[in-house]
Amino acid sequence: MRNCNPLNIRRVAATRWRGQTPLQTDSRYVQFEAVEWGLRAAFCIFRTYARRYGAVCIRDIVRRWAPTSENNTEQYIRNVCLWTGLGGNERLTEYDWPQLVKAMARQECGVVLRDQTVVRGFCLYKLY
């Protein structure tokens, strides 16, 4: 959360996000000006997962986001399903993504984001 990056989006040299701070002092994770910008970036990544990889359910999204080489991916999926009330193989639309982001932030950082914060991040995603 210190980076305003509740889903722990990693830095990639070729990627510059809207709302990213000009000075990046964390060598591993992107630093954003506000949590909402970090959430917007997550929504953009979900869109890429859906379009490029056909990842449209919790199971497919989390497997890409949190590979087994670095995480207990199956437990991550179970937690996200529990916290969203959605099935792991249920086809999601982008309007389900705010629930998904909220649950993934809880898994990644142990924080329960306020709904208003998530909605503001989603609105930034829809605007840009």
Model pLDDT for residues 25-71, shown as the tens digit of each residue: 999 999 999 999 999 999 999 999 999 999 999 999 999 999 999 99
Report helix, strand or coil for 111.
coil
Residue-level pLDDT at 65: 97
Query: Which sequence spans correspond to the domains of the chain?
Result: 35-127
Give the pLDDT of residue 72: 97
**Mean pLDDT for the stretch of residues 81-94:** 97
8 Å CB contact between 117 and 39: yes
pLDDT at 92: 98
Average pLDDT over residues 95-109: 97
- CA atoms within 13 Å, Cβ hemisphere of 118: 18
Asked whether 104 and 65 are in contact (CB, 8 A), the reply is: yes
- Please tell me the predicted confidence (pLDDT) of residue 67: 94
- The whole-number average pLDDT for the span 75-95 is 97
Residue with the two structure tokens 């999601």: 92
Query: Which run of H or E residues covers position 43?
Result: helix 35-53
What one-character DSSP code corresponds to residue 5? -
How far is residue 1's CA from residue 26's CA, in Å, rounded to a whole number? Answer: 12
**Structure confidence at residue 90 as a pLDDT band (50, 70, 90):** very high
**Cα separation of 112 and 110, whole Å?**
7
Q: CB count, 10 Å around CB of 78?
A: 14
**Whole-number pLDDT of residue 123:** 98
Mean pLDDT of 70-86: 97
Phi, psi of 43 (to 5 degrees): -60, -40
Q: What average pLDDT score do residues 69-86 get?
A: 97
